[in-house]
Structures are given as C-alpha cells and as structure tokens.
Amino acid sequence: MLSVDDAIARLLASAQPVAAIESGNPSLAFNRVLAEDVVAPVAVPPADNSAMDGYAYCHADAHKAGFVLPVSQRIPAGKAPEPLLPGTAARIFTGAEIPAGADTVAMQEDCVAGDATVTIADTEQGANIRPRGQDIALGEAVLSAGTRLRPQEMGLLASLGFAQLRMYKPLRVAVFSTGDELVEPGGTLAAGQIFNSNRATLAGLLACWGMEMVDLGIVADKPALIEARFREAAECSDVVVTSGGVSVGEEDHVKAVVAKIGSIDFWKIAIKPGKPLAFGTVQGKPVIGLPGNPASVFVTALILLRPFLFRLQGLNSGTVQPVSAPALFDRKAVRRQEYLRARLTRDGIEMLPNQSSGVLSSACRGDGLAVQMPGQIISRGDTLHFYHYASLF
C-alpha cells in the first residue's frame, strides 16, 4: 500500500492544470482562481486622506498662531479640496482628501470650534493622515496567478477598480456512484437498499471548492453499464470521480473497467477510512475511484481528492497546515494512517466515539480530523495534528 504522502505526491505529479481561461468580474467570482498576475493600476488610497473627523492644518502655521486658526474651507469625503490658505485650517471628515499645504489633522474631540475659527490642541505633526498608497502602491504586485479568490481578495480587487480579470474556468467534475443497493433520496427503499449519501457529500465539497459537478447519478453493478458511464463522463468533464466499486468484492467492477478501457496508476493506500482508492485515466481524463462507505468518501475526498483537484484547477497552493493540540483520549497503535473525526476544545482534541467508515454523524458533531500515524500509540496529553474542516473546505 502507498503511504498517504506518497499517494498525494503521485496525484500532484500527474495533475495537469486546466488551460481554459475566461474573463469575468472578480466581484462575482468567489472561489474562482486567477489566471494572471495582478499589478495595481492605481494607488490605494489614491491620495493622502484624513483618518479622523477633525481639522487639517499646517503644523508650523498653527505654532505661529498659537493654535487658533480661521477655518477657510469644509472638505467632506468625495470632494476635491482647494489648496489650504496659509495660516488657516480646513474642516475635514474621515476619508476626505488632505488639501495641499496641510500636514496634520487634529481630531475634532481635541478642538474647540468658534464662529469662524478653531482652537486646536497641539498635535504631533503628520498625525491622523493616511498617506497615498498606504495600502497598495501604484504598480505594486498584488496577487499572483493561481490565487483562489476569497471575500478579502474580491474586495481588494474592487478597491483597485477591476471590473474584469482573466480566471480559469471552473473545473468540471463528473460524479457517479455504483451499487445495486443505492437509491437516491426521495425514492423508495427495497429490502437491502440504502440512500445514496455520497452524491450529496461530493456535491457539497465541490461547491465549496468552486468547481462544477456534472451529476451522472447511480450506475448498477454491471461492467458494461459502468464502462458506458465512464466513457460518457470522460466526454463531458475535466476529471471523473466515482464512489463505490473499488474494493475486491465480486460486485466491485470499477477498477477492472478502468484498467480495461484506460489505465490504473495505483489502487491501495495506507489510509483509514478509505484504503481502496483507484487512480487512473479513461480516454485521457483522470479518474479517481473513491470507496463506497460514506465516511470513507468524506475523508478521502478531503485528504486525497482535494489537493489533486486544486492542482487541476490551477491553484498555486492547496496545502493546508494542521494545528497541534493535546489528545484527550488514549488509543492503541494502528497499521494505517487514520483520520479520526474529532472536536477541538479549549483543553485539546476530543475523539468522537463512532469511527466506523459507514458513519457520517460523527463528522457532523465534530469540527475536524485528528491524525494518528501508523504504529503510533496515543496517550492522553500526546500532541496530535488536527485539520479543521473549515480549512479543508
């Protein structure tokens, strides 16, 4: 069996980022990936501006006048100021441009306004002024190609005035499940059947990752039907993801079908839950066959599928850094690298009681995955790595 790290390395080494690029409004592009470097076409802020409501003045003039100055103009935000008349002050508001000739702003709380004058408390020269380009300088490299747009990047690009940018098209991921026992939610269960939860889990993850799911439903455990669905999936997507049918049972046909019409790169990984995971190609499109058990799909999608899809999507980094915290439980050694559904508390990591590969409820009650390495005995107080679900979504 491949180690988890070796499996991820092989997945990433084989991932060729999609080349399809389109222009779009970055303010409507949550989770999209930039296909070009971004250089600031303007400075932010574009001019020196006031950080406070107050009075703008020349510090040297105020000293000469004993800090009592006539008020020569009023400058609200959005209005271009006139040059400051020597020996005067300007009433100014937060965000308004500093007039030429002023070098300091006194907060209104430190000033006493008269009919046409203002008495200003002695304020340090240069105080309360946000200089031009304080956030971003004109021509500064702001974001690099491969950046995934979060709300803060969207706001940053808007502050620079971008209405259009070149971005990678969302990855099209064809998804289908195999199994005679599966029924889609809303259907009627016969004896021995279960509802298909894997489609919904993968739909949620792909939506989080900003990718487009091509839903190809459920396929019965018949090699000919599975082969036909693989060919359909390869025609309409950038990558194919399946769930079920990759183990060694007599009704597990996915691996054999992929080997027949394409190729298999690797199959077994030393991970729990989720040891049987098939990676290969069909008609030139990458295929990842996830296990069938619901928790196995959830964990292997987060740990193995996610970095591969992120690389295909053109992201410059899909690496997630775990946090370290003490275990609040004891656990005997394991053979495979285990991802334990857990909860991070103020005191440490609490393992949830049911770690079965068929159980999703423990994933709902927790907020992340704790890692137990092969051969590791966990004693209460030992430091473990913990991956927050939020960082993997």
* pLDDT < 50 positions in the chain: none
Q: Is residue 80 part of a domain?
A: yes
Q: Which residue has the tokens 């306004």?
A: 113
> What are the backbone dihedrals phi and psi of residue 113, each rounded to the nearest 5 degrees, phi first?
-85, 135
pLDDT given at position 249: 66
Q: Which residue has the tokens 């839950």?
A: 273
Number of domains in the chain: 4
Q: What is each CA distance from 30 to 57, 172, 331, in whole angstroms?
A: 43, 16, 41
Q: Is residue 282 part of a domain?
A: yes
Q: Is residue 317 part of a domain?
A: no
CATH number at residue 329: 2.40.340
pLDDT given at position 248: 61
Q: Is residue 145 part of a domain?
A: yes
pLDDT given at position 121: 87
CATH number at residue 123: 2.170.190.11
Same domain? 36 vs 164 = yes
Bridging pattern class, strands 271-272 and 276-282: unpaired
Q: Is residue 318 part of a domain?
A: no
pLDDT given at position 260: 94
Same domain? 146 vs 64 = no
pLDDT given at position 250: 65
Task: Round to whole Å and give the CA distance between 172 and 151.
Answer: 23
Same domain? 164 vs 223 = no
Q: Is residue 10 part of a domain?
A: yes
Q: Is residue 198 part of a domain?
A: yes
Same domain? 222 vs 89 = no
Same domain? 286 vs 345 = no
Task: Round to whole Å and give the CA distance between 316 and 332.
Answer: 38
Length of the chain: 393
Q: Is residue 125 part of a domain?
A: yes
Structural domain for 223, as ranges: 4-17+170-312
CATH number at residue 289: 3.40.980.10
Same domain? 79 vs 116 = yes
Same domain? 209 vs 343 = no
pLDDT given at position 59: 96
Same domain? 331 vs 268 = no
Last residue of a domain, one of 246, 280, 312: 312
CATH number at residue 31: 3.90.105.10
pTM score over 0.85: yes
Instruction: Kindly give, in sequence order, each residue whose CB lies less than 8 Å from that of residue 134, ignoring residues fewer than 6 positions away.
Output: 44, 45
pLDDT given at position 204: 97
> 91: closest CA among 38, 146, 50, 37?
50
Same domain? 162 vs 29 = yes
Same domain? 266 vs 298 = yes
Cβ contact 75:95 at 8 Å: no
Q: What is each CA distance from 1 to 164, 227, 335, in whole angstroms?
A: 47, 26, 11
Same domain? 147 vs 195 = no
- Sheet with strand 276-282: strands edge to edge: 212-219, 172-178, 239-243, 285-290, 276-282, 262-268
Cβ contact 217:262 at 8 Å: no
pLDDT given at position 98: 98
Same domain? 199 vs 293 = yes
